[in-house]
Structure 1
Amino acid sequence: MVAVRTARTLGLALALCFFSGAFAGVGTAQEKKAEKAKSKLKISVPQDDAELQIEGKATKPTGTVREFETPDLEVNKAYEYTFSVTWRPNNYTTLTRTKSVEFKGGTADINVDLTKADPKAPDKAVIRWVPTPDDVVEEMLKLGSVKEGDVVYEPGPGDARMLIAAVKKGAKKGVGIEIDAKKAAEATENVKKAKLDEKIKIIEGDALKQGDYSEATVVLLYMGNEFNALLRPILEKQLKPGTRIVSHRFTMGDWAPDKTVPVKGADGDEYMLHLWTVKEKK
């Protein structure tokens, strides 16, 4: 097996630009004597203003298709570049996708498609927290039939208002997984103020990576369609039959909710709530 050599092992300073410029590289005298050639990178990204990094270095060009040139690389040597793209499909969701591509020095054209998710490297989603009004939270708990003995999980709990309300409703345990350190601290403080720190646990971390939802009997969501799509396979794999999932506004792709109800809020706005109940696996 040929060992993969990354750009970093060559000590390359990744100064990216269009074909008029290239990655700057420093090699040993022996490497300079070897046959070398450049490769053209053609990279497709999800949207025009997406932020692209190559080997951890930011790039400036925009557009859905971007072209770059590698430095001189040893012909037939194995290399690996890591590409990362960050974009905002809406004003509350930030998605990051990473992909590593192996190729041999001397390859004329290298196409990198970052418009499709890589199952080997799941997307990362960060959601800007927006509070759900307290009266709408109560309607979510009602729709999810939250009762005594339930274990309620919430990805991105923000200020922990949903978890606090669920435990006050009778749930024996609440768990929130919050990626924002400041929000995690705020949630923890609010739980303490409510004197529920023995029943509610706030975990600082990525709900798509650190969440084990297997003990949940209810999952509460107000995150976004993109986040729900990433969370769905995790929930489908981990949740027990009978577990209820309640989402404020957002759905789960083609997983149709068992029930959708409109709610007129105290503020006069209309809110849409969705309920799924996990079925026995066939």
Structure 2
Amino acid sequence: MFTRTARMFGFTLALFTVTAGLTALSVSAQPDKKEEKKDSKKVKSKIKITVPQDDAKLKIEDKDTKPTGVTREFETPDLEAGKLYEYTFSVTWQPNNYTTLTRTKSIEFKGGDDIVADLTKVDPKAPDKAVIRWVPTPDDIVEEMLKLGKVGKDDVVYEPGPGDGRMLIAAVKKGAKKGVGIELDPKKAEEAKDAVKKAKLDKEITIIEGDALKDRDYSEATVVLLYMGNEFNNLLRPVLEKQLKPGSRIISHRFVLGDWAPDKTIKVTGADGEEYVLHVWTVKEKSKK
């Protein structure tokens, strides 16, 4: 029995047999009274970690590690046999040139037991975090998106990652009664606020600085505008399915929502001569369940 969990930092890289230089914390497990009289046996635990791609950056207990490759192996320092420990693993990678994903997983183990951590799969207890490099949607394509979603005077438009705020500004100018943007980048949030103020729409449009995926309420939205990447959309999808009312529309430039088939997809040629793909979904009762 254990009344506390010990977190042991500091381990040796089995691949290089050098110390990783992690700092040990003075947190110890409390054995039961029967164990107190016994001499603790020192053991090591082997760690095997699988990450999403070769160049992913791996941290153990928030400390950087050096090995690369999809499978990485380490070895802990001396541990007390049978004592309960916990490691937290964090991996960051770029599936494409505009998306950075971070995935975390915590594992409890007993000293001497092998540790296997598969970071190629999402941990439902610790959802992925996504950071998207902002790329502007051309103004004429924004207009096509608003037409596709039939944005009008009764709509409340939300946009995760509004960047410079151009899509929200266009939506309100089109007739939407309210716009809300949630921007992770503080500089972009300020840029969007300045653009909204310059357009004299600061009463109609609110820019929130923060994570669009974390504890956000989208239930007020009747329209959600997206240009965030497939990975981000997949993380946002369950939130939208749960919170949006039937009849709400989701309009995306280029990217999809996993296997949720769009109600309509169109291709338009922009003023720049490039072809753009736009999708729209209308939330139905069954999509909320």
Q: Report the TM-score range of the alignment, normalised by the length of the smaller protein.
A: over 0.9
Q: Does 1:50 align with 2:47?
A: no
CA offset at residue 97 of structure 1?
0.1
The residue number in structure 1 matching 2:123 is 118
Q: How does 1:101-112 map to 2 (within 5 A)?
A: 101-107=107-113, 109-112=114-117
What is the alpha-carbon distance in structure 2 between the residues aligned to residue 26 and residue 163 of structure 1?
48
% identical equivalent positions: 73
Determine the structure 2 residue equivalent to 1:227: 232
CA contact (8 A) 1:22 1:71 kept: no
* Contact 2:12-2:74 at 8 Å conserved across structures: no
> Do the aligned partners of 1:78 and 1:104 also contact (CA within 8 Å) in 2?
yes
- Equivalent residue letter for 1:62: T
In the alignment, is the contact (CA less than 8 A) between 1:257 and 1:274 conserved in 2? yes
SS in structure 2 opposite 1:122? coil
The SS at the match of 1:5 is coil
* Cα contact 1:17–1:59 (8 A) shared by 2: no
Opposite residue 194 of structure 2, the aligned amino acid is: E
Aligned match of 1:171: 176
1:94 to 97, 100, 121: 100
> 1:16 offset after TM fit, Å?
4.9
SS of the residue corresponding to residue 61 of structure 1 reads: coil
CA deviation profile, 1:188-229 (whole Å, cap 9, x unmatched): 111111111111011111101042100000000000000001
Cα distance change, pair 26–240 in 1 and its aligned pair in 2 (3 A): closer
**Residue 141 of structure 2: SS of its match in structure 1?**
helix
Name stretches of at least 5 consecutive residues in structure 1 with no aligned partner: none
Q: 1:48-197 alignment to 2 at 5 Å?
A: 48-107=54-113, 109-197=114-202
Distance 1:45 1:65, change over 3 A: same
Which residue does 1:249 correspond to in 2? 254
Partner in structure 1 of residue 15 of structure 2: 18
Query: Deviations 1:4-24 (Å, cap 9, x if unpaired)?
Result: 4243xx5x4456563613566
User: 1:5 maps to which residue?
Assistant: 5
* CA distance 1:135–1:37, shift in 2 (3 Å): same
Any idea what the Cα deviations from partners look like across 1:49-107, whole Å, max 9, x if unmatched?
A: 00000000000100000000001111111111000000000000000000000000111
Give the conservation status (yes or no) of the 8 Å contact 1:4–1:79. Answer: no
- How far does residue 279 in structure 1 lie from its aligned partner after superposition? 0.3
The one-letter code sitting in structure 2 at the alignment partner of 1:5 is: T
Name the Cα RMSD after superposition: 2.1
* Other-structure match for 2:267: 262
Q: Which amino acid aligns with 1:49?
A: D
Q: CA–CA distance in 1 between the matches of 2:225 and 2:6?
A: 42
Is the 1:92–1:127 contact (alpha carbons within 8 Å) kept by the matching residues of 2? Answer: yes
Aligned mate of 1:202, from 198, 207, 215: 207
TM-score by length of 2: 0.91
Q: Secondary structure at the match of 1:153?
A: strand
Long gaps (5+) in structure 2? 28-35
Shift of 1:156: 0.3
Give me the whole-angstrom Cα distance separating, in 1, the residues matched to 2:116 and 2:16: 15
Contact (CA 8 Å) 1:178, 1:203: kept in 2 or not?
yes
Compared CA separation, residues 15 and 200, structure 1 to 2 (3 A): farther
Aligned residue-pair number: 277
SS at match of 2:278: strand
Is residue 2:273 matched to residue 1:275? Answer: no
Question: Deviation digits for residues 228-252 of structure 1, max 9, x if unmatched?
Answer: 0110000000000000000000001
Cα distance between partner residues in 2 of 1:268 and 1:185: 31
Q: CA deviation at 1:110?
A: 1.1
